Amino acid sequence: MQHGYGYFEEDKLGEIADIKLWRRILGYTSHHWQGIILAVILSFAVIGSSLLLPYLVRIGVDDYIINTEIPVPERLSGLVILALVFGLSSIAGFAANYFQVTVLEWTGQNIMHRLRQHIYGHMIGLDLEYFHKNPSGKLVTRITNDVQNMHEMFTSVIVTLFNDAIRIIGILILLFWLNWRLALMMALLLPVILVATIWFSRLARNVFREIRTDLAKINAYLQEAISGISLIQLFQREKETERNFVSINQNYFQSTMHQIKVFGIFMPLLDILASTATGIIIWYGGAQILKGQMTIGILVAFLSYMRLFFQPLRELSQKYSIVQSAMASAERIFQLLDTKSKLPIVLKPLRPQNTGTSVEFNNVTFGYDSANPVIHNLSLNVKQGETVAIVGATGSGKSTLVNLLERMYDPDQGRILLDGHDLKELDPIWLRNTVGLVMQEVYLIPGSIRSNILLDREMDEPELKVILQQAQLIELINRLPEGVHTKIGEGNLDLSAGQRQLLAMARVMARNPDILVLDEATANVDSETEILVERAVEATLAQRTNIVIAHRLSTIRRADRIIVMDSGRIIEEGTHEYLMVQKGFYHRLQNLQYIGWNERKSIEPAIR
């Protein structure tokens, strides 16, 4: 369900009667069956203690308070004993309830921990196409909100519903045992109670869905507005964004008012039914007492049991909604878990020991949408130790070649070979260790500079220092009080675009890949930092097979061969000098860049 203010999917509700879904949900409880069985056993203790209390009151009233046939001291001692039993029963019920909640929370947290790990482990193994087609907010919701919905169902609803069902059945049995005639009259109200509860549950289902949807709209709109606050203020869009927020906030207000109206009908209706039941008990029970066919204690017990009978009905609608929401979440979670990667891995993938690191694109055709290819029957051979620069206008397919070489996608036609081995035959982990990538957008993990460079590797300080020098980071590190242990990322030291590029170079050097791909690695670097980046690039390219995708002339001229692409095809090939003499597409690109470079140089001093 796509709205104007972000991504939502609350229009789909889970079906409580979906047996296959329940079977999969309960499959996650199989490792924690001991905790669930213990919770069920404790629930009987909780129910037993709550049902015992009204019966103890009945004994106290009939056998001791109004019974004048036994001496007063004996009646008093009997009441003391009953009071002690009453207190012990209450304490036992409290203890059983405490341990039941603790066991349920522990079990629920463990189940959800396992489910959350399962989702994350499966999700990060999916191919890049899946992440391009699914909004990040949707995927985050799977691990956060959807898992939390299921946790709430496990800990707050399932066993509680079991408790309520057993409690209601126990109350009905006790009522018929105490006085079957009065219990039969009370049973006449059950069809009315059942119809009212089902009607309310179905109505509440839609109301809760509306509230969740409108609240999701508010959250998404707030996230967009806060993240883009600079643009809102810069272009003076405060009034417009406020009007939009007023609109979606009003919808949320109306949904909550709808909820209040629904509860405003159902809760008084339950009160009327409870009052009717109480009136019937007093009228019929009082008449039975006057006739000597029933005791006052039984009447008091009936009134207490009726109060316990209506208590779970008041909470049933909310629990029903929680279960529906959890079922919808479960369906979405299992839909994700059932998604298979479109990049098949052979049973015994290859991990070649000795590689010459040559790369060959053999008649490759590929499109993110198979009906619209972005690469057309492309063939390219990069020899070992060769540096090949790929240039072209935006959208010509340069970055797509990188995605194909890293096997983020498989070509629709043709093959990509690494030392004669099809990429489909190679171990993906080995492949991505062999082919290093430096991109324009550098991802920083929250942590120190050292951890961002080494990631999962271990390295001695002298060896790391050599890498920092080659990556032109040593001057920056020396200026920082904590050196390589300085924290970077959100909420910590913020690195410039150029510094991020230098860090990316160091990260690649630490992994020491046989093949290096620079994808627009120097596109967004200022003139002063460009010199440092160029030195780092020179050190990084040394003694490797390199594929460079760049616009800057200094980087391109370093290449042994230049490939010019347009609309997914190779249209020119050769050295810089050769292509400039040809005065073709490459010549025009370089002239345009030269004009832009001169304009920027003339503007920069004025800015300073």
Report residue 18's pLDDT band, with 50, 70 and 90 as the boundaries: low
What average pLDDT does this structure show over 501-512?
A: 87
Sequential DSSP letters for 437-474 = EEESS----SEEHHHHHHTT----HHHHHHHHHHTT-H
Sequential DSSP letters for 229-275 = HHHHHHTT-HHHHHHHHHHHHHHHHHHHHHHHHHHHHHHHHHHHHHH
Residue 362: what pLDDT? 93
Asked whether the predicted pLDDT for residue 32 surpasses 50, the reply is yes
> How many angstroms separate the Cα of 491 from the Cα of each of 282, 283, 446, 482?
67, 70, 9, 16
In tens, the pLDDT along 184-202 reads 887 777 788 778 777 776 7
Q: Under a CB-based contact definition with an 8 Å cutoff, are residues 361 and 416 in contact?
A: yes
441: phi then psi, degrees, rounded to nearest 5: -90, 115
Strand partners, 392: 565
142 or 578, greater pLDDT: 578
Which has the closest alpha carbon to 50: 100, 92, 98? 92
Q: Under a CB-based contact definition with an 8 Å cutoff, are residues 179 and 288 in contact?
A: yes
What average pLDDT does this structure show over 216-236?
A: 80
Report residue 594's pLDDT band, with 50, 70 and 90 as the boundaries: low
In tens, the pLDDT along 99-141 reads 988 888 888 888 888 889 999 999 888 888 888 777 776 778 7
Asked whether the predicted pLDDT for residue 60 surpasses 80, the reply is yes
> Residue 401: CB partners within 8 Å, gap ≥ 6?
361, 375, 378, 380, 390, 547, 549
339 or 159, greater pLDDT: 339
Distance of alpha carbon 412 from alpha carbon 402, whole angstroms: 15
Residue 4: what pLDDT? 39
pTM of the predicted structure, to 2 decimals: 0.70
Residue type (1 letter), 478: N
Distance of alpha carbon 440 from alpha carbon 310, whole angstroms: 64
Q: Using CA atoms in the order 151, 152, 156, 158, what is the torsion angle rounded to 10 degrees?
A: -70
In tens, the pLDDT along 530-557 reads 777 778 877 877 788 889 887 666 667 7
Burial of 347 (0-12, 13-18, 19+ CB in 10 A): exposed
In tens, the pLDDT along 363-389 reads 999 988 878 899 999 999 999 889 999
Residue 606: what pLDDT? 44
> Residue 318: CB partners within 8 Å, gap ≥ 6?
204
Residue 598: what pLDDT? 53
- Quick one: fold of 16-179? ABC transporter transmembrane region fold (1.20.1560)
Distance of alpha carbon 96 from alpha carbon 102, whole angstroms: 10
The full set of domain ranges for the chain reads 16-179, 180-293, 359-607
Report residue 238's pLDDT band, with 50, 70 and 90 as the boundaries: confident
Element housing 88 (H / E): helix 72-123
Kindly indicate whether the domain formed by 359-607 is annotated with CATH number 3.40.50.880: no
